[in-house]
Amino acid sequence: MRPIAAAAGALVVAAILAVPILQAAAQGIQAFDVVKAERSESFSIPYAVANLDRKNPYVYTYETPKGQNWIFSVENKLSYVARGDAKVVVVLHDADSADKSIELHMYGGENKKYAVWVTTPEAGHSSVHLNEVRGWDDQQPIGVSFAANNGLTVTDGRRIVVDRLQIGSFNLGSVEVYGKDEQAALSNAYSGQLNIAVMYGSPADTPIYMVPAIVTGGVGAVVGVLLLLKKRKDRW
Interacting residues of 51 by C-beta distance below 8 A, sequence separation 6+: 179, 180, 187, 188, 189
Average pLDDT of the residues of the chain:
83
pTM for the model:
0.80
Q: Is 165 helix (H, G, I), strand (E, B) or coil?
A: strand
In order, the DSSP letters of 31-82 are -EEEEE-SSEEEEEEEGGGGGSBTTS-EEEE-SS--TTEEEEEEEE--EE-S
Q: What is the pLDDT of residues 185-206, one digit of tens each?
A: 999 999 999 999 999 997 665 5
pLDDT-based confidence at 130, cuts 50/70/90?
very high
Q: What is the pLDDT of residues 139-164, one digit of tens each?
A: 999 999 999 999 999 999 999 999 99
pLDDT-based confidence at 28, cuts 50/70/90?
confident
For residue 209, what pLDDT is reported? 43
pLDDT-based confidence at 27, cuts 50/70/90?
low
More confident residue, 202 or 229: 202
Question: How many C-beta atoms surround the C-beta of residue 172 within 10 A?
Answer: 22
For the domain spanning 31-235, the CATH number is: 2.60.120.200
Domain limits, the chain:
31-235
Q: What is the pLDDT of residues 62-96, one digit of tens each?
A: 999 999 999 999 999 999 999 989 999 999 999 99
